[in-house]
Amino acid sequence: NNRIVIYDNFMRNSLKDKKLNDHSNLTIIEGDILDYEYLSKSMIDSEIIIHCAAIAGIDTVIKDPVLTMKVNMIGSANVLDAASYLKRLERLVCFSTSEVFGMLERQGRIFTAIVDNVTAETLMNEIINHAEKGSVFYTDKFKSYKSLKFYGKHISIDHGKEFGKGRRHINGLEGFWSFAKERLLKYHGVSKSYFHLYLKEMEFRYNYRKENIYHKLLKIHFGPFSA
């Protein structure tokens, strides 16, 4: 007789046709993830929390990057903070369906791009322009990657079953997105017009994270010098 609570702002109204009112053990609360006080009250006595609230889709990200950052990062921080006070909490699971595009060489450099959409044609064009034919590609199960088998060896990872085994993982790329989100949050919002530059800044910082960034920038601008 477990009780289930759904907390949602119904921005996409994806639950309207689910006929959830027929379930006696289900409570639906309309609320915003950015409303910490209301969110924390709604989480009282929770034993298991599944957090999947995020603004998804690259088009939405480009349209309103500031709101995207607030919901995806500050909202997630609200969930984690509220959960830290729950005495009966057994498990908290966080995930998002948001599509992002980036490529990471194994033990190498990251490449990121803002794309108009996430169709197979668009993503394959980016891959062809920035990766050698015949390479081994590790991806999740996103359908637009299926054409990779014609460009190299494609190994897809079903995150519904496992997150990786041996070399079969995309942990490096996922690590970059965590790296970028953590630093973008410190800006307290970014301009839509300059979002691509913020993204490239994160790419640059990640690729040279083991070097002195200040010296690297001086070298790029003025050429080699003696420290």
**Residues sharing a CB contact under 8 Å with residue 154, sequence separation 6 or more, in sequence order:** 137, 139, 145, 146, 148
User: Using CA of residue 162, residue 164, residue 170, residue 175, what is the dihedral sign?
Assistant: positive
**Domains parsed from the chain with CATH numbers:** 4-94 (3.40.50.720), 102-222 (no CATH)
User: 81-136: per-residue pLDDT in tens?
Assistant: 999 999 999 988 876 654 556 787 876 789 998 887 888 898 999 999 989 999 99
N-terminal to C-terminal alpha carbon distance within the chain: 68
Give the type of residue at 134.
Answer: G
Q: Model pTM? A: 0.53
User: 177-210: per-residue pLDDT in tens?
Assistant: 888 888 887 877 777 778 888 889 999 999 999 9
Q: Contact 101/113 with Cβ under 8 angstroms?
A: yes
Say how far apart CA 17 and CA 93 lie, in whole Å.
25
